[in-house]
Structure 1
Amino acid sequence: MAGDRTQSAPFLQVVRGDLSHEETAALVAVLTARARAVQAARERAAATGSRSGWSDRARLLGVPRPGPDSWRRSFHPG
């Protein structure tokens, strides 16, 4: 059964080495923190309505790119 976790394979399995309980706990903590950080980033992106670069209208303003004589391409009157 898909919903029955008691008969399924372990979620995390150490295939080489002999980890202590503390090392296993540290590994689980790091993996959990990473998963939560990814989830939080996804939620922030969904909440802010992040747009792709193609839909960003600021690119149409002709913002000068850094480089030699870039001041000539700016809106500076001088």
Structure 2
Amino acid sequence: MSDSRPADAAQPVARVVRGTPTPEELAAAIVVASEAYARETADATAPDTAVRSRWELSARGLRAPLNRDAGWRGSAG
């Protein structure tokens, strides 16, 4: 059995498995499913700006590297 569609034709993303919906019913179902998918996709993506955690907000900045050329007395002041 050969398929009459060209090879580059888009495959269907939905299939009616029971009943015979009218074109209006099918269009309504596609709109509802598309909206649900769009909402799920929007909720699943991370925000553009990451919120800093309380740990990051309270953590002190890193200190400057030690000056190893100063020797022991260089750390006193």
Higher helix share: 1
Larger Rg: 2
Question: Normalised by the size of structure 2, how large is the TM-score?
Answer: 0.48
Tell me which of the two structures has the higher relative contact order, counting C-alpha pairs closer than 8 angstroms and 6 or more residues apart. 1
